[in-house]
């Protein structure tokens, strides 16, 4: 397959390396010319200086070059840039291409998932050019994928044939791929688990131990599931790799930027200081306001996410928010 990765961050580069090793013809695009110059000259990524990327990988800052003649376009930019990236690619899209989002987020203005943002931005082009739009999500930190450490992921698309096509492309000895037609549920899991991971980090920063983190993950999943079911998603999605699987790894892994940012917040850093210290986009912070709007829109209570919102955007004390959660009135839920 001829595949382009739109986005040269850690996740895009990890997937580019994996796909290239699997025998695909892979081009990496970035809007930042210095980023492309560095990759071309060194065949290394600044975050992974010890990893030599395959010589066969190609790099470009030209959108037309990245899009034309490609079977699959992987959109691997941070969630705030999904719409602008789709807009820049639109004039060069060709009939029958598959666009796959690997970003995790919710657009604040529209409350759209990332694939919904792409579809909305492309408009009539989707049907005119018979474009397919899918998502990849699951417990897959770039730091491990780029080192060919085994993991699993979900190929999600409302069209099962497209989901299975993507499954075949990505399946190899270090990545086992499952399929799911509940693309909204898969993407909702990917966005909201980052907020729960912020909370998990806060608990670590407060030195609150493991018991409460186990409870947080369990109740966090219940919270995400309640909202998802209200939005028409399949309940089973939340118990699978996109839900529980991704939630566990993001809430506990040393590679999780959301968990790291939460630790710093728990230790007294401001959210802005923590994001700067992490040095990469902290998607959990971006997802909080859309999640709160979804809660208001649906009437579904999100107590953990509401507590994180209070800490990040209202200046509340992390310890006080934990106390408040512990003393909430009881419900009959398991």
Catalytic annotation on 193? Answer: yes
Q: Can you give the residue range of the structural domain that contains 101?
A: 2-181
Q: At what angle do helices 283-298 and 183-205 cross, to 10 degrees?
A: 120
Same domain, 133 and 258: no
Please tell me whether residues 119 and 202 are part of one structural domain. no
pLDDT attached to residue 210: 95
Tell me, what's the pLDDT at 126? 98
Residue 329 pLDDT: 74
Residue carrying the six token digits 């010890």: 50
Q: Is residue 198 domain-shared with residue 131, that is, in the same domain?
A: no
332 in any annotated domain:
no
* Percent of all residues in the chain with a pLDDT value above 70, rounded to a whole number: 99
Residue tagged active-site, from 17, 104, 193, 260? 193
Whichever domain contains 37, its CATH number is 3.40.50.720
CA–CA gap between residue 298 and residue 231 (Å, rounded): 8
Q: Bigger pLDDT: 330 or 84? A: 84
Same domain, 131 and 18: yes
Q: Which of 151, 181, 211 is the last residue of a domain?
A: 181
- Say if residue 43 is in the same domain as residue 133: yes
Assess contact for 200 and 262: CB atoms under 8 A: yes
Q: Are residues 98 and 214 in the same domain?
A: no
Pair (171, 214) in one structural domain: no
- Evaluate whether residue 257 is within a structural domain: yes
For 249-302, write each residue's pLDDT tens digit.
Answer: 999 999 999 999 999 999 999 999 999 999 988 999 999 999 999 999 999 999
Helix residue spans in 179-302 (DSSP H) = 183-205, 211-230, 246-252, 257-266, 271-278, 283-298
Q: What does the block give as tokens for 50?
A: 């010890």
The 10s digit of each residue's pLDDT in 132-186 is 999 999 999 999 999 999 999 999 999 999 999 999 999 999 999 999 999 999 9
- Give 44's contacts (C-beta < 8 A, 6+ positions apart): 50, 51, 52, 53
- Please enumerate in sequence order all residues whose Cβ is within 8 A of that of 129, keeping only pairs 6 or more positions apart, or say none: 93, 94, 95, 96, 97
For residues 73 and 126, state if they share a domain: yes
**Of the residues 161, 181, 201, the one at which a domain ends:** 181
Do both 228 and 149 map to the same domain?
no
The answer to whether 229 and 190 have CB atoms below 8 angstroms apart is no
Which has the closest alpha carbon to 74: 161, 134, 21?
Answer: 134
Question: Which residues have CB under 8 Å from 14's CB, separation 6+?
Answer: 142, 143, 145, 146
Model confidence over 109-138: pLDDT tens digits? 999 999 999 999 999 999 999 999 999 999
Q: DSSP per residue over 114-128, as a string?
A: HHHHHHHHHTTHHHH
Cα separation, 20 vs 10, in Å, equals: 15
Domain end among 152, 181, 210: 181
Q: How many helices (H) and strands (E) does the chain have?
A: 16, 8
Kindly state whether residues 154 and 20 are assigned to the same domain. Answer: yes
66 shares its domain with 93: yes
Same domain as 115, residue 41: yes
């Amino acid at each position: 397959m001829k595949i382009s990765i739109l986005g040269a961050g850690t996740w895009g580069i990890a997937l580019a390396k994996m796909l290239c090793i699997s025998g695909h013809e892979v081009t990496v695009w970035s809007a930042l010319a210095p980023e492309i110059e560095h990759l071309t000259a060194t065949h290394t990524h600044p975050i992974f200086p010890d990893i030599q990327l395959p010589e066969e990988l190609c790099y470009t800052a030209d959108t037309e070059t990245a899009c034309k003649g490609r079977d699959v376009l992987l959109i691997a930019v941070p969630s705030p840039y999904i719409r602008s990236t789709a807009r820049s690619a639109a004039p060069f899209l060709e009939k029958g291409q598959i666009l796959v989002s690997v970003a995790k987020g919710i657009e604040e203005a529209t409350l759209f998932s990332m694939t919904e943002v792409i579809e909305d931005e492309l408009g009539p082009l989707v049907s005119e050019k018979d474009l397919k739009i899918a998502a990849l999500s699951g417990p897959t930190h770039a730091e491990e994928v780029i080192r060919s450490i085994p993991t699993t992921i979900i190929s999600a698309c409302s069209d099962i044939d497209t989901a299975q096509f993507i499954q075949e492309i990505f399946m190899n000895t270090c990545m086992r791929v499952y399929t799911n037609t509940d693309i909204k549920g898969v993407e909702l899991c990917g966005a909201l688990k980052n907020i729960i991971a912020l909370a998990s980090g806060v608990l670590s920063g407060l030195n609150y131990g493991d018991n409460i983190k186990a409870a947080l993950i369990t109740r966090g999943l219940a919270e995400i599931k309640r909202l998802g079911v209200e939005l028409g998603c399949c309940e089973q999605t939340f118990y699978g790799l996109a839900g529980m699987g991704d939630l566990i790894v993001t809430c506990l892994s040393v590679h999780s930027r959301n968990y790291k940012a939460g630790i710093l917040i728990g230790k007294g850093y401001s959210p802005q200081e923590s994001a700067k210290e992490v040095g990469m986009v902290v998607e959990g912070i971006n997802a909080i306001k859309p999640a709160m709007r979804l809660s208001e829109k649906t009437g579904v209570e999100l107590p953990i996410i509401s507590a994180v919102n209070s800490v990040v955007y209202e200046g509340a004390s992390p310890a006080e928010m934990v106390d408040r959660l512990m003393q909430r009135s009881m419900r009959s839920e398991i």
